[in-house]
Amino acid sequence: MPDDFRPRRFAVLIDADNTSPRIAAGLFEEIAKFGEASVRRIYGDFSSPRLRSWADILQKHAIDPYQQFAYTSGKNASDIALVIDAMDLLHSRRFDGFCLVSSDSDFTRLASRLREEGADVYGFGARKTPESFRQACRRFIYTENLVPEPVPQERAREGAQVRALSPASAAVPLLLKAVGQIESEDGWVGLGPVGQQISSIASDFDPRTFGFRKLSDLVRHAGPFEIAGEGRNVRIRVRPERASQERDGRRDERPEGRPEGRQEGPPEERAEGRADGPPGDRANGRSTAAPAPRQQRAPAPRRSSGATSEPSRETPPPADADTPSDAAAAPAAKPRRRRAPRRKSAA
């Protein structure tokens, strides 16, 4: 058979310490979608009771166990053995890619090194897997999506096909971003290129995470998209009203009415602190209300000396202070100087 028609060959390396045996069947079904699992190896200490569940299914899935005794507790001897075998298989040049099955971030550098040599790396792990390992893989698949579970009735009514790990609305920003990065004159883009663009943006994207087996089903239920065509000719575009929002952005709406700080009344009365009166008082913000009339004191009689007496001369009344009401209404004015009355010497 020519090399162009043979399936792509993958080496499947499983970290038994960080992987559940419940995913074994779904794991190899998933790998069969993009290639052939030519090498199937699993690493761990199978003498431990904790890994006995793996030992019961190794023969069923033709997995070769690589026993690695735990010489010291707390050490990752199995991880080192997996890395050594991965580099040996890489330099044999017999494989197109690797499938690393683990939720351990210690394999981040291994995934990066394999990709540097031109090999495709598919990661499989739980949702708790650190982002560094997920992004180091060409594609990362959550093992929760490989375990068949019943769909709740309320989700089935909404069109969900598998158990969702996240709501469909959570995929909308990523879908919008992928559609926006594809050039199109009329806004319609093929669904296939959209899927490829999403894989380039987020290696862990999977429609099953949102409750749908196919990307087209997810797009139909996501909301702001229109779909046309069937089969491989499916095209999508963002709804016009949503596209205008994405293009223009949301602007803050001004409240109806006059701008803040504007006051009612004629222009001459709207100036802050302005009141009727002389310009000097208006500039200082003083009140120009008429002051209360001053009270005059009756002149005191003068004492006469000797037999003769002179008519008493009235002295000008002293300037009284403002009343309390005026003092509270207006600021204090400068004190006026009092002139002493002129006294006449007695004849």
Does the predicted TM-score (pTM) go above 0.85? no
Among 62-66, 111-115, 168-172, 257-261, the least confident range: 257-261
Cα distance between residue 285 and residue 276, in whole Å: 10
Percentage of the chain exceeding pLDDT 90: 31
DSSP 170-215: GGHHHHHHHHHTS--SSS-EEHHHHHHHHHHH-TT--GGGGT-SSH
User: What average pLDDT does range 207-220 have in this prediction?
Assistant: 87
Strands (E), the chain: 9-15, 36-44, 64-67, 97-101, 120-125, 139-142, 189-190, 225-228, 235-238
- Dist. CA 329–CA 308, nearest whole Å: 51
The four Cα atoms 70, 73, 74, 78 give a dihedral, to 10 degrees, of 0
Strands 64-67 and 139-142: unpaired
Spatial distance between the Cα atoms of 345 and 212, rounded to a whole number of angstroms = 119
| Pairing mode, strands 120-125 and 97-101 | parallel
What is the mean pLDDT of the segment spanning 212-225? 85
Question: Is there a contact between 188 and 237 (Cβ–Cβ < 8 Å)?
Answer: yes
Q: 7-148: which CATH number, 3.40.50.1010, 3.30.390.10, 3.40.50.300, 3.40.50.720?
A: 3.40.50.1010
Compute the average pLDDT of residues 118-137. 94
CA distance 141 to 119: 17
Sign of CA pseudo-dihedral 167, 233, 176, 125: positive
Residues 212-227 have a mean pLDDT of 86
CATH 3.40.30.10 holds for 153-248 = no
Domain locations in the chain as residue ranges = 7-148, 153-248
